[in-house]
């Protein structure tokens, strides 16, 4: 049996993505073959395509951090899981494919009846938001939070989960994203026409308790200026490396962003005001404490079942249009999550 997957042939723009057809992978001992229903498209995928994300695999590779699919075939030594069962995973790469083989320990059961595109939005975006809120920032009801890119995939997740946590929220966004930010309970700040630091101190004179910054670089220092004393910036991304979805500097320094993180973390401890910069990495927390990832994702699936959260789906693309999905995300201003759907999965919301 043959299947389709997307590969990155060279570091660069969306033209680096190529559709290939090949024999289906066979599960090894301890592995499960999953038929992918939905794969998320995220900014880390663009960073890996450009070759600047620390997790970038050797070329050629298949991108795709997060997926929801159906168990298709079991390798030797597998028990406790059956073909036809719906599962989710965060493989970091490899999700842009019709079939993928993964170790059983990577799979988290997905409740039946959930839309595959909405369910896959939880795997990277909502787990990131949930863990930053509750495991990095330890938020409490009544606290104030500033969310950068508030209309995007992680930003909209932070707004929904922050509202459940009782936060007062502000969100930087474009004019186009402002209605979505307002609908999700945030006060929009037009970053294109306003200085967000001045605007925060106008709206909340002392500053906010926490800033969620996925931009990185020198932007983290401006985020720190929006904090009240003893506040913290939770830094989780390096999108300042991109301009229009492409590498901003033209120079591929895979660990440059991490070095800058280190400088700002040290500065937060050494400078007065006790304003800390705290790094968050979903993949490192998952590696160090895998049970937390599973626990948090299961809790989020329950919130989705209870309709307490509702992921915003910006657009659904067929797998073969992954290049168009990257082009759209790279342009910026996307509200919610872009998802690649496979095998009619958008019509299989009740299938198990």
Q: What is the pLDDT of residues 18-27, one digit of tens each?
A: 999 999 999 9
**pLDDT tens profile 226-259:** 999 999 999 997 776 566 666 666 565 655 556 5
Distance of alpha carbon 106 from alpha carbon 162, whole angstroms: 27
What superfamily would CATH give domain 2-121+285-347?
Medium-chain alcohol dehydrogenases, catalytic domain (3.90.180.10)
C-alpha span between 148 and 152 (Å, rounded) = 9
140-172 tens-digit pLDDT: 999 999 999 999 999 999 999 999 999 999 999
What is the pLDDT, as a whole number, of residue 350?
38
Lowest mean pLDDT among 43-57, 104-118, 119-133, 239-253: 239-253
| Cβ-contact 97, 86 below 8 angstroms | no
Q: Would you call 107 helix, strand, or coil by DSSP?
A: coil
Q: From CA 109, how far away is CA 297, in angstroms rounded?
A: 9
Determine the average pLDDT of the residues in 114-118: 98
Return the closest-CA partner of residue 184 out of 204, 220, 222, 154.
154
Q: Are 91 and 64 in contact (CB under 8 A)?
A: yes
- For the entire predicted model, the pTM comes to 0.92
* CATH code of the domain occupying 123-281: 3.40.50.720
User: Which residue from 46, 15, 8, 16 is spatially nearest to 247, judged by alpha carbons?
Assistant: 46
Q: Give me the pLDDT at residue 261, please.
A: 58
Q: What pLDDT does residue 215 have?
A: 86
CA distance 144 to 204: 8
pLDDT value at residue 114: 97
Domain limits of the chain?
A: 2-121+285-347, 123-281
Task: Report the alpha-carbon distance of residue 139 to residue 82 in Å, rounded.
Answer: 39
**Residue 262 to residue 258: CA distance in whole angstroms:** 6
Check pLDDT > 80 for residue 117: yes
The pLDDT score that the predictor gives to residue 69 is: 98
Q: How confident is the model at residue 347 (pLDDT cuts 50, 70, 90)?
A: very low
Q: Which of 85, 2, 40, 131 is nearest to 315 (CA)?
A: 40
- Lowest-confidence region among 62-71, 231-240, 283-292, 340-349: 340-349
- Name the least confident of 228-242, 256-270, 298-312: 256-270
Please report the pLDDT score of residue 269 as a whole number: 62
Residue 91, pLDDT above cutoff 60: yes
User: If we measure between CA atoms, which residue out of 91, 80, 99 comes closest to residue 42?
Assistant: 91
pLDDT(35) > 50:
yes
């Amino acid at each position: 049996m043959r299947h389709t997957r997307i590969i990155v042939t060279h570091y660069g723009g969306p033209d680096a993505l190529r559709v290939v057809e090949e024999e289906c992978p066979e599960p090894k001992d301890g592995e499960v073959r999953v038929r992918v229903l939905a794969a998320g498209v995220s900014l880390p995928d663009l960073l890996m395509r450009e070759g600047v994300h620390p997790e970038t695999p050797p070329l050629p590779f298949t991108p795709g951090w997060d997926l929801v699919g159906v168990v298709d075939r079991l390798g030797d030594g597998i028990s406790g899981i059956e073909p036809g069962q719906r599962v989710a995973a965060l493989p970091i790469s490899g999700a842009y494919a019709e079939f993928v083989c993964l170790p059983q320990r990577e799979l988290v059961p997905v409740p039946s009846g959930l839309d595959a595109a909405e369910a896959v939005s939880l795997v990277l975006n909502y787990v990131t938001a949930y863990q930053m809120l509750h495991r990095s920032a330890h938020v409490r009801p009544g606290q104030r939070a500033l969310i950068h890119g508030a209309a995007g995939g992680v930003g909209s997740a932070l707004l929904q989960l922050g509202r459940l946590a009782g936060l007062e929220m502000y969100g930087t966004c474009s004019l186009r994203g402002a209605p979505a930010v307002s609908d999700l309970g945030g006060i929009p700040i037009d970053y294109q026409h306003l200085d967000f630091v001045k605007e925060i101190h106008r709206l909340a004179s002392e500053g906010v308790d926490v800033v969620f910054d996925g931009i990185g670089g020198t932007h983290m220092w401006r985020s720190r200026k929006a904090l009240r004393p003893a506040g913290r910036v939770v830094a989780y991304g390096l999108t300042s490396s991109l301009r229009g979805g492409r590498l901003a500097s033209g120079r591929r320094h895979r660990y440059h962003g991490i070095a800058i993180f280190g400088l700002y973390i040290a500065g937060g401890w050494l400078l007065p005001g006790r304003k800390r910069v705290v790094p968050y990495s979903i993949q490192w927390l998952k590696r160090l404490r895998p049970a937390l990832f599973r626990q948090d994702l299961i809790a989020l699936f329950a919130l989705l079942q209870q309709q307490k959260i509702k992921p915003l789906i910006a657009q659904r693309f067929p797998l073969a249009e992954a290049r168009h999905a990257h082009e759209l995300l790279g342009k910026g201003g996307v509200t919610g999550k872009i998802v690649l759907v496979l095998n009619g999965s958008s019509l299989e919301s009740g299938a198990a």
